[in-house]
Amino acid sequence: MARPLVIASCALMGFRPDRDTGRYYRLLLNDLRDKWDGPLHVATNDPAGFSEGIDLEPVPDVAALRRCLWDDERWQDEYHRRLGWHPRNHGIGQYKFPHMIEVYLAKTELMLRAAERFGEIVWLDAGLLFSVFHDHAVPDHWTGYSRPLLNEGLAPWLQGFSQDRPVVATIPRKWRPLKNHRPSFHGLTFHDMGRLARQALAKPQPFYAVAGAMRLSAQDAGMIRREWPSIWQSMLDLGRAGTEETVLSVLAWRHNWHAVPLAEWMRRVAVPPAGWDGP
């Protein structure tokens, strides 16, 4: 008998002073628990307020998770300096709140560990519905996840993709002649991403990978662990700083991951609000 599909996520609280993430992480993950009939695994540094039935994993040390992917005592200064190369980067979250990159890398490590533990997971970011549908705000009226879509459609849809590589959510990567030298993807330019890809022997594609939704196996996690360090270091050597999605994009290009627009992922787990036509 096939193992039930595991949905995994994480909720790391207290790192965004500009957003009440704790509130909407709990709202959405508890809603997901209510709608999803299969296992739900959530790693968190603050387990209070979550529904019974969620498999909670305590996260006592976010820094230790970050060190698994980037072990540098001066990480914060090095990251901030590289990100600050262009004024357009000064307004993004990880520049204003330097600890955010630690959360992004910790989240990635938790995702890899979940895939290794369960053999295969579907990763859904804790705040996915509100970040995509409502620009991180908590709306007055919301319907949350869709029980029929999750339980009757998600697994069969994913089975339509071969099991030999991840299925990853994507956003468009657009060539714009007058803007290719400006930061456009987590602090890197269109040309930066092309250079990074070529150093990794990857052919740039017209999309970026985003980490909000992904199907990942234990074998996929092992591949990411092996290839992550050289791509991350190449990014730093270029004098740039990005996020986990910088590396995941290069890996997706290099290994021809199944690339699915984020909007399609969203329509597989929830009913979009009226008027929404994609990110």
pLDDT for 2 equals 64
Instruction: Output the average pLDDT for the chain.
Output: 93
Q: Is the pLDDT of residue 45 over 70?
A: yes
**59 contacts 12 by C-beta, under 8 angstroms:** yes
- Residue 95 burial (CB count, 10 A): 18
Q: Is the pLDDT of residue 223 over 70?
A: yes
Please give the average per-residue pLDDT across 200-209, as a whole number.
Answer: 97
Instruction: Please state, in angstroms and as integers, the Cα–Cα distance from residue 270 to each residue in 22, 59, 140, following that order.
Output: 21, 28, 17
pLDDT for 93 equals 85
Provide the pLDDT confidence category of residue 278 given band limits of 50, 70 and 90.
confident
pLDDT for 99 equals 86
Please give the average per-residue pLDDT across 177-203, as a whole number.
Answer: 89
pLDDT for 39 equals 97
Q: Is the pLDDT of residue 95 over 60?
A: yes
**Largest Cα span, the chain:** 55
Helix (H), strand (E), coil (C) string for the chain: CCCCCEEEEEECCCCCCCCCHHHHHHHHHHHHHHHCCCCEEEEECCCCCCCCCCEEEECCCHHHHHHHHCCCCCHHHHHHHHHCCCHHHHHCHHHHCCCHHHHHHHHHHHHHHHHHHHCEEEEECCCHHHHHHCCCCCCCCCCCECHHHHHHHHHHHHHCCCCCCCEEEEEECCCCCCCCCCEEECCEEHHHHHHHHHHCCCCCCCEEEEEEEEEEEHHHHHHHHHHHHHHHHHHHHCCCCCCHHHHHHHHHHHHCCEEEEHHHHHHHHECCCCCCCCC
Please give the average per-residue pLDDT across 42-71, as a whole number.
Answer: 97
Provide the pLDDT confidence category of residue 17 given band limits of 50, 70 and 90.
confident
In angstroms, the CA 32 to CA 146 distance is 9
- Residue 54 burial (CB count, 10 A): 19
pLDDT for 141 equals 85
pLDDT for 138 equals 86
Half-sphere exposure of 153 (CA within 13 A, CB side): 15
Q: Which two tokens stand for residue 90?
A: 């000064």
Please give the average per-residue pLDDT across 112-139, as a whole number.
Answer: 94
Q: Is the pLDDT of residue 118 over 80?
A: yes
- Looking up tokens 């994913």, which residue turns up? 158
% pLDDT > 70, the chain: 99
Provide the pLDDT confidence category of residue 81 given band limits of 50, 70 and 90.
very high
Helix 244-255 to helix 100-118 angle (10° resolution) is 50
Please give the average per-residue pLDDT across 80-98, as a whole number.
Answer: 88
In angstroms, the CA 67 to CA 47 distance is 23
**264 contacts 117 by C-beta, under 8 angstroms:** no
Provide the pLDDT confidence category of residue 210 given band limits of 50, 70 and 90.
very high
Q: Is the pLDDT of residue 136 over 90?
A: no
Please give the average per-residue pLDDT across 16-29, as a whole number.
Answer: 88
- Residue 86 burial (CB count, 10 A): 14
CA-based end-to-end distance of the chain: 38
Residues in the chain: 279
| AA letter at 236 | L
pLDDT for 68 equals 97
